[in-house]
Amino acid sequence: MYRTHKVALDLNNVQAGYMARAAGTSRFAYNWALGWWQDAYRQWLVDPTSCDRPNQARARLHLNLAKHEDFPWMSQVTKCAPQEAIRDLGRAFSNFFSGRAKFPRFHKKGGHDSFRVSAGFFNVDGSRLRLPHVGWVRMREQFRWPEAKPLSVTIRKQRGRWFAAIACVLPDPTAVSGATSRVVGVDVGTSEYVTSNGEYLAVPRAYQSAQRRLRRAQQSLARKEKGSANWRKAQAKVNRLHGAVADARANWLHHATTRLVGGNDVICIEDLNVKGMTAKPTPKPDSDHPGTFLPNRAGAKGGLNKAILDAGFREFRRQLEYKCPEQGVKLVVADRWFPSSRMCSSCGVKTKRLPLHVRQWACQGCGTSHHRDLNAAINLKNYAASSAVSACGEVPATDLPGVMPGESSQLCKAGTKRQTVHEHI
């Protein structure tokens, strides 16, 4: 199983200068190889007998032959930096010819400040990382998997700081046990995630909290002359604010997913189409007034899109997809059209229409009062239990919890308080 540990580096001025030179060498090699590749391909199209068809191996060979005379400064950094950059170019061309990506483009300074060191040229010892030409550098935390086999390390500059992403191979995870006993369903929302156990995980809403500071920082950036020293300082401030928002969201999601995986055997979530949920409304022309459009509530939809993206629905699923196999936990993804919110978890009767603003509703079949998100989580739990029965065998009955949201349910505070649920019916 392949995993990557990303950790910040604690560098002095000499070490930071070396990282910048190595990243610049990697960027130069990528651009040089891309230019050579294009020229060689045009020549090959005109006369295939005049030269061989270009590939990344021939690009690396031509660079090795030319760098000692034309680019002697490349010897100041590790040889892995230009070689791995050309390998990345080869993968970019493979993705382009297979239709998975666009044609490779030249890299600009500041956009791809990174380089990679392959296995055998670096070493990890606790909270230290040894790189060629620079020696040991300090990491902000210890390597998580000392027994793993390191494959490569990518050094990248983000928001003014250098990070190391150590790719390695871990032992195969333990197999999922045949009999499962702890089944949980999780319903995601813009204000909180609700589990079938009656636990409410409040979403931190990091972007909403920092939106005012971001607006002022971006206004200050717009007033600066592009390319000036003050413009670079203002841009760095905007990047730091965006980075703080992303870090807060990722930290909360990691805590939530780790807690769920560590305490359950089966986890069930919904198959949400996040891209479709956050799509902009299509403008509809007004037939009575040519050149104008009908109201489509684009402003309200934009606010909802921000809230959905700020809650991190897709990242929550991505983390569960790689954490569950590590702990031997089964992840069940319910069908996209499964009516988890509209179906009564007690009798199974489906409500025809349930607007999003209705947070509590009563079943028309049995009269049971439901909290919308808790009811959806319980339905997901029952869905996972039925899936586990067909795949693994025994699963105990899933009973409706005896608490309502306002009683003794647990609340995980994460920077914001859970909103009060009002009665709409």
Residues catalogued as catalytic = 187, 270, 373
Cα distances (Å, whole numbers) of residue 34 to 187, 251, 378: 47, 38, 54
Q: Which amino acid is at 100?
A: R
In degrees and rounded to multiples of 5, residue 268 shows phi and psi of -120, 130
Name 212's Cβ contacts closer than 8 Å, sequence gap at least 6.
none
Q: Are 231 and 237 in contact (CB under 8 A)?
A: no
Query: What's the helix, strand, coil split of the chain in %, to 5?
Result: 40, 20, 40
Cα distances (Å, whole numbers) of residue 117 to 7, 42, 110, 127: 15, 32, 20, 18
Q: Are 222 and 305 in contact (CB under 8 A)?
A: no
Q: What is the DSSP code (8-state) at residue 52?
A: P
Q: Are 395 and 183 in contact (CB under 8 A)?
A: yes
Helix (H) or strand (E) segment spanning residue 291: none
Q: How far is CA 393 from the centre of its chain?
A: 34
Give the C-alpha separation, 156 to 50, whole Å. 39
CA atoms within 13 A on the CB side of 256: 33
In which residue are the tokens 């950059």 written? 85
Which among 382, 262, 267 is positioned nearest to 317, based on CA atoms? 267
Give the C-alpha separation, 110 to 44, whole Å. 33
